Amino acid sequence: MPAESASAAPIGEAPPASALLAVAAVTKLFGPLRALDEVSLRVDRGEVLGLVGPNGSGKTTVINVISGLLAPTSGRVLLEGQDVSGKAPFRLARRGINRTFQIPKPFPALTARENLAVAFHGSRLTDAEILELVGLGGREERLASELTASDQKRLDLARALVTGPRLLLVDELGAGLSKTELDELAGILRRLVAELGMTMVVVEHLMGFLEQVADSVTVLNAGAVIFSGGLSEALSDPAVVKVFIGG
């Protein structure tokens, strides 16, 4: 994927035909706090964009705005060129946007299969196929409360997949996982892209994990974009190095 694929899309200009998502000059204020400062990014169909930055840089706020949990103070979120800014999450799920969460919150008294059954269904895969895909095959009847922390993350991913998203927002799904579990998760995400044509924005601190899944990265600091391009270029960019290492 070329480095310019994640470049900013000017707010007055329609995104290119290949763009599934465009975030155009989005600002988000919480009282006097400017959590996002005219953030712009673009994700092409079939692309995996890594969203990185130090704690408090605004990564999850971007995901919350795209997924409808927060409305932007200004700017727009465009899905295939149509303004979906501030639409409710359930409406966006029906239009093909869904997400995972940093801390999964399944229904603890329901089984893994039942957790999927209560969700809106838009996937062409069956619940059993989705559970198998995320590595929960054979544990369909286990209560969510009995699953390990790693398996609860897989269940959270499955609950997002059952809606049949075209755009999947993955918010630090790898946090707390072992190297083996991270490699398995990376393989799952790449399968979703290769076999289902899914487009993703992946929020993650783990550069090794992003190296396995992301085509390009956008780096945030203090709510603003400081870099968009390839991961290798990001790691040698002076502004990015200063943010992560200092000096």
Q: Are residues 180 and 122 in the same domain?
A: no
Instruction: Fill in the amino acid letter for 35.
Output: A
Q: Are residues 175 and 240 in the same domain?
A: yes
Q: Are residues 74 and 30 in the same domain?
A: yes
Q: Are residues 83 and 126 in the same domain?
A: no
| Number of domain units in the chain | 2
Q: Are residues 46 and 139 in the same domain?
A: no
- Domain edge (last residue) among 119, 147, 164: 164
Each residue's pLDDT, cut to its tens digit, for the chain (247 residues) gives 333 333 333 333 444 556 899 999 999 999 999 999 999 999 999 999 999 999 899 999 999 999 999 999 999 999 999 999 999 999 999 999 999 998 999 999 999 999 999 988 889 999 999 999 999 999 999 999 999 999 999 999 999 999 999 999 999 988 888 999 999 999 999 999 999 999 999 998 888 899 999 999 999 999 999 999 999 999 899 999 888 766 5
State whether the Cα torsion 221-209-162-154 is positive or negative: negative
- Domain edge (last residue) among 164, 183, 216: 164
User: Domain limits at 13?
Assistant: 3-96+165-245
Residue among 116, 139, 141, 136 nearest 126 (CA): 116
Q: Are residues 152 and 173 in the same domain?
A: no
CATH number of the domain bearing residue 209 = 3.40.50.300
Paired strand residues for 71: none
- Domain edge (last residue) among 164, 191, 211: 164
Is residue 91 within 8 Å of 71, Cβ to Cβ? Answer: no
Is residue 25 within 8 Å of 42, Cβ to Cβ? Answer: no
Is residue 161 within 8 Å of 130, Cβ to Cβ? Answer: yes
Q: What is the pLDDT of residue 12?
A: 39
Q: Are residues 72 and 169 in the same domain?
A: yes
